[in-house]
A and B are shown apart, each in its own frame.
Chain A
Amino acid sequence: MKNSISQIKKDLIEKKISVSELYDEYLAKAKSGNNNSFNLVIDRENNISSINESQNRYDSGNPLLLDGIPLGIKDLFCTKGIRTTASSKILSNFIPNYESFVTQQLLNDGSIFIGKNNCDEFAMGSSNETSYFGPVINPWKNKNSQKDNLVPGGSSGGSAAAVAEGSCVASMGTDTGGSIRQPASLCGIVGLKPTFGSCSRWGIVAFASSLDQAGPLTNCVEDAAYILNSINKHDFNDSTSSNHQREDYLIDINNSLQKKIKIGIPSDYLEDVSDEILNQIDNTKKALSKHGIEFVDVEFKTTEYALSTYYILAPAEASSNLARYDGVRYGVREDGESLDDIYLNSRTKGFGDEVTRRILIGAYVLSAGYYDAYYRQAQKVRRLIKNDFQRILNEVDFILTPTTPNEAFKIGDKLDPISMYKNDIYTVPTSLAGLPGISIPSGLSKNGLPLGVQFIGNYFEEKTLLQLAALAEKELSFNE
């Protein structure tokens, strides 16, 4: 594939292009900023030594895994010496003095950062409209209504748009309830959320610690394997980082799967779904059946509880994770007459509406008298949801679902929070279970907008999940 990491590396090795030329090509697109996909584009001077070192490695014939590859980084990853805002006013002046574990791995593997991708404020949102730096515009247009600006999805909307518009080869995103997969789907690219515990959360601005997981947004499945090879490592500094044996996800990515595969399609996910979305599932099923993959209907018992469970647990954790943004030690401080005023003013003015809403929901469900009814109950339901997935994954190898219930919608169209939350209906249950999920483009809507399907695998089975996704991608590809 053109612009895939393997093709770009080949071009660099064969000197069809230099690292510097490659970088400048992407930098120019990023700087044009048509879709507002970057909160910050890194100055060229800051990357010159990395570019030169990378070129030297190519010249000496020893390029690293991601050598010279221009990447976007969601503005939720702390990057040393580079402003990191979480797209929030309260962190709009924050420059970390440390590099997140995941981005450090990407740097170690030779990649070059173009800049920090716009996202929903503190990753809270499904349309990238909650960003302090303004909404991101989806590079795709509705062919029946070309003037309309559409959302890229969220919260990793800037990452998805940047990859889709070609201002970076791939971008690092984070996924708490669908924040990688949903925007990938709406922007027609690949988005992988690895198993919880695969990639260290160290240095990522926390939203909901028990759900947050870093993952790549890429042009193709193979690129996701490249990035995963770089970032999927045990980290002692993250207590929830798993220390299981990691695999090489690139080897055999394009070979057909070793064993006979059975995929479950949850019938309860497909009730009340538009024909357009149903078609995505049918097309995928047809395409893969050709390869001898078996499809069976499965049924979850807990799907209807997933969204409410998520919107209790995630805000609860967020309400506590965001307590540190108080204007005292770093970030934007709004003055006041007393300590309480400083807190009140800094946080009232520093946080946007959606973040404030979730902090309030979170504080409410944890408060005395409500804890048992909400938080404790939601934890129990989460356990049931996990068990439900385990039950089904005992019968089938993978689960196939739509990624989103709809195509990209107009900016400003979904002002009601509940209808916005419902956009994550297919991604949230996987997040609650901690399972890996990947969204790949599956076709275009009648408006000419991309739609995606999601494959869900068992814990730490990213290797076969990527192989399956690569096979489906080959069959469904519409990008070229």
Chain B
Amino acid sequence: MSNNWEMVIGLEVHAQLKTSSKLFSSSPNKFGSEPNENVNFIDSGMPGMLPVMNFGCIEMAIKTGYALNFKINKHSVFERKNYFYPDLPQGYQISQFEFPILSEGYINIESGDNQKKIRIERAHLEQDAGKSIHDIDPKYSFIDLNRVGTPLLEIVSYPDLSSADEVINYMSSLRQLLMYIDVCDGNMQEGSLRADVNLSVRKKGQELGTRCEIKNLNSFKFIKQAIEYEFQRQINIIDGGGEIEQNTMLFDTSTGETRAMRSKEFSHDYRYFPDPDLLPVNLTQEQIDKIKPLVGELPQDKLNKYLDNYNLDKDIAKIIIAEKQNANLFEKMISESTVKPKFIAAWLVGDIFAFIKENNLEVNSLNDKTKDITDLLILISDDVISNKAGKEILPKVLNGEGKPSELVKELGLEQVSDFGELEKIIDGALLGEEENILKFQGGSDRVLGYFVGKCLKATKGKGNPKLINKILLERLKK
């Protein structure tokens, strides 16, 4: 029984930075190229080649520092982490060890109905390694060095997480923040964001147990599965009278199980030492301050603004801030029109997102359609067309088939809002309905619906329902 057991989890998240070139070479930093296309002499570890730091990576680290409430260190040092592997051409990875660029940060995540503060021990810059491909040939392995030297920010949390759900919330909050400040594309499938999970178990209230590290998880689903499996595995060992060995584990995505890759006894001695090819990074306060305005509004700031200034419902606001591009689209529409934010928000998370999902689009792709969208929303809110007609026109507007006002005319969807005309139609519809009129006056509200329907039908659906309602009530009360 796992009832009185709890898990203690710390996360090491590797975020690939969105720079145009690599951390220490001018090769392009991009995914999806032909194997070994983005490799220069530095990346391939040729004799005599030297690293030159890409300052863009430092700026992104500083931005992250602000977003995750870190202490931004003026002095940091790149060191060499020495180990042999064919996808590590230099024979060492350049990383920060004793003096990371960021230390002691935190973020707040949701845990059940509460907020929980997750402390982050440090974040440091390092090079990514290449990829070894073992499944092309039965005898040989293949090496793709495109990823070699890609800048990574490794974000190391304290063991403050205590459930798979918290871990997922933490990861998705991190992902959201990193995407907001534009330092990481957050694409977990492509490996832009990966996590190593350190997990131990203990009986509630007892000392920390021995931890195992599950390496390289690149989807929320796998993280959750791996944690749940590993939690149970450790409990089973202890319940069976065994002891946990401090192991590095791999998660097998096909079986959903974790298995030991190497034990602590065989763990590497990385022989870290300061890289003599690079000078220490020494930042001035001015250099750090200069980055602050580039951080921009963070999700929490936006959430507060949407709730307080725009009166959005929390659920809707959260959907919009989930991704920066949603918020950008939303705020663009607010700034370009006089339509009420709440009205825009309802259409955005409703029909507009549905359209995006149906057509497999990027939210960004609608950025040049915002004027048309808000024009349409104005037609709806001004009662020029009905809500229903709006829903009919929206896809056409988003597909670029025409301007909203033209489409309304073309499709003859303009509402009849002429008072006199509607009066005539209503009077006609009330003829011979004396019995129902009496019923209404006797207190039967249901009859009103019947009359509205009848009148709408008489206008072929184009009558302005609000006006019809208003006139009807006047007539009926007489």
Contact = CB atoms under 8 A, between A and B. Distances in A.
Which has the most chain B C-beta neighbours within 10 Å: A317, A324, A326? Answer: A324
Given A237-B52, A323-B84, A84 B271 contact: no
Contact of A329 (B44, B273, B277): B44
Interface in B256-315: 269, 271-273, 275-279
Contacts of A217: none
B269 A240 contact: no
A205 B47 contact: yes
B191 interface: no
B451 interface: no
Interface in B23-66: 41, 44-53
Interface string B160-194: 00000000000000000000000000000000000
A316 to B, nearest CB: 6
Interface stretch (A15-23, A25-33, A90-98): A90-98
B395 interface: no
Contacts of A177: none
A247 to B, nearest CB: 24
Contacts of B90: 323-324
A320 B91 contact: yes
Contacts, number: 97
A373 interface: no
A308 interface: no
B251 interface: no
A415 interface: no
A367 B269 contact: yes
Contacts of B48: 77-78, 96, 100, 201-206
A328 interface: yes
Interface in B86-119: 86, 89-92
A330 B46 contact: yes
Contacts of B325: none
B91 A324 contact: yes
A442 to B, nearest CB: 33
Given A320-B82, A324-B47, A343-B84, A98 B41 contact: yes
A371 B273 contact: yes
A94 B46 CA distance: 10
Contact of B273 (A77, A78, A97, A375): A375
A195 to B, nearest CB: 16
A471 interface: no
A329 B49 CA distance: 15
Contact of B276 (A208, A322, A329): A208
A236 interface: yes
B80 interface: yes
B50 A238 contact: yes
B271 A239 contact: no
A324 B45 contact: yes
Interface in A49-102: 77-78, 84, 86, 91, 94, 96-98, 100
B82 A323 contact: yes
Contacts of A86: 47
Contact of A320 (B44, B53, B273): B273
A418 interface: no
A371 B272 CA distance: 9
A319 B44 CA distance: 18
Contacts of A319: 82, 271
A96 B47 contact: yes
Contact of B52 (A236, A323, A343): A236
B35 to A, nearest CB: 14
From DSSP, what is the main secondary structure of chain B's interface residues? loop
A362 B228 CA distance: 43
A203 B49 CA distance: 6
B276 A317 contact: yes
B92 A91 contact: no
B47 A329 contact: no
A325 B84 CA distance: 10
Interface string A194-215: 0000000111111011100000
A202 B47 contact: no
A209 B46 contact: no
Contacts of B89: 324, 328-329
User: Which of B48, B84, B141 is packed against the most chain A CB atoms within 10 Å?
Assistant: B48
Interface in A311-343: 316-317, 319-320, 322-326, 328-330, 339, 343
Contacts of A320: 80, 82, 91-92, 271, 273
A227 interface: no
A107 B401 CA distance: 65
A316 B269 contact: no
B271 A326 contact: no
Given A317-B276, A324-B91, A94 B47 contact: yes
A406 to B, nearest CB: 31
A368 B81 CA distance: 12
B76 to A, nearest CB: 14
B276 A363 contact: no
B39 to A, nearest CB: 10
B92 to A, nearest CB: 5
A239 B277 contact: yes
Interface in A173-231: 201-206, 208-210
Contacts of A366: 82, 271-273
A202 B50 contact: yes
B46 A323 contact: no
Contacts of A375: 273
Given A209-B277, A366-B271, A368-B269, A237 B92 contact: no
Contacts of A330: 46
Given A78-B47, A94-B47, A339 B86 contact: yes
A434 to B, nearest CB: 12
Nearest to A77: B48
Nearest to A122: B47
Nearest to A204: B48
Interface string A232-276: 000011111000000000000000000000000000000000000
B336 to A, nearest CB: 45
A236 B46 CA distance: 18
A98 B46 contact: yes
Contacts of B53: 239
A238 B49 CA distance: 9
A314 B406 CA distance: 78
Contacts of B279: 239-240
Residue from A203, A240, A323, A371 whose CB has the most chain B CB atoms within 10 Å: A323
Nearest to B91: A323
B92 A323 contact: yes
Contacts of A329: 44-45, 89
6 contacts: A239-B278, A323-B90, A323-B92, A328-B86, A329-B44, A368-B269
Interface of A: 77-78, 84, 86, 91, 94, 96-98, 100, 201-206, 208-210, 236-240, 316-317, 319-320, 322-326, 328-330, 339, 343, 363, 366-368, 371, 375
Given A325-B47, A328-B89, 18 more contacts: A94-B47, A96-B47, A96-B48, A202-B50, A209-B277, A239-B51, A239-B279, A240-B277, A240-B278, A317-B273, A320-B80, A320-B82, A323-B91, A326-B86, A328-B143, A343-B84, A366-B82, A366-B272
8 closest cross-chain pairs (CB), A and B: A323-B91, A209-B276, A366-B271, A210-B276, A324-B45, A203-B48, A205-B47, A368-B269
